[in-house]
Copies of this chain bind each other. A is one copy, B any other.
Amino acid sequence: MVMHMTVRVAVSGASGYAGGEVLRLLSSHPEVEIGAVTAHSSAGELLGTHQPHLRSLAGRRLEATGADTLRGHDVVVLALPHGASAEVAAQLGDDVLVLDCGADHRLVDAAQWTAFYGSDHAGTWPYGLPELLLDRGSRRQRDLLAGVRRVAVPGCNVTAVTLGIQPGVAAGLVETTDLVAVLAVGYSGAGKAAKTHLLASEGLGSAVPYAVGGTHRHIPEIEQNLRWVGADAVSLSFTPALVPMARGILATTTARLVPGVAASDVRAAWVDAYADEPFVHVLPEGQWPTTAATTGANTALVQVAVDERAGRVVAVTALDNLVKGTAGAAVQSMNIALGLPETTGLPLEGVAP
Contact = CB atoms under 8 A, between A and B. Distances in A.
Interface of A: 17, 20, 24, 27-28, 46, 48-49, 51-56, 58, 178, 180, 182, 184, 186-188, 190, 192-196, 198-210, 212-214, 219, 235-239, 241-248, 250, 252, 254, 256, 281, 283-284, 287-297, 299, 301, 303, 305-312, 314, 316, 318, 347-353
B295 A205 contact: yes
B201 A246 contact: yes
19 contacts: A53-B349, A53-B352, A54-B349, A55-B348, A180-B182, A184-B184, A184-B207, A186-B201, A194-B194, A199-B199, A200-B200, A202-B292, A203-B204, A205-B245, A209-B250, A213-B314, A214-B308, A235-B311, A296-B296
B207 A318 contact: yes
Given A200-B198, A252-B241, A281 B55 contact: yes
A295 B201 contact: no
B349 A52 contact: no
B208 A205 contact: no
Looking at A196, A236, A246, the one whose CB has the most chain B CB atoms below 10 A away is A246
B246 A243 contact: no
Contact of A245 (B193, B206, B294, B299): B206
B17 A353 contact: yes
Given A53-B351, A212-B303, A237 B293 contact: no
A192 B198 contact: no
Contacts of A237: 180, 254, 307, 310, 312, 314
A245 to B, nearest CB: 5
Contacts of A214: 305, 307-310
Given A209-B250, A212-B303, A256 B353 contact: no
Looking at A190, A196, A203, A311, the one whose CB has the most chain B CB atoms below 10 A away is A203
B205 A204 contact: yes
A198 B195 contact: no
A115 B292 CA distance: 33
Contacts of A20: 352
Contact of A243 (B17, B182, B245, B306): B245
B27 A349 contact: yes
B283 A52 contact: yes
Nearest to A57: B349
A202 B209 CA distance: 20
A353 B28 contact: no
A265 B288 CA distance: 39
Contacts of A196: 192-194
Given A200-B246, A244-B245, A28 B349 contact: yes
B310 A28 contact: no
A241 B235 contact: no
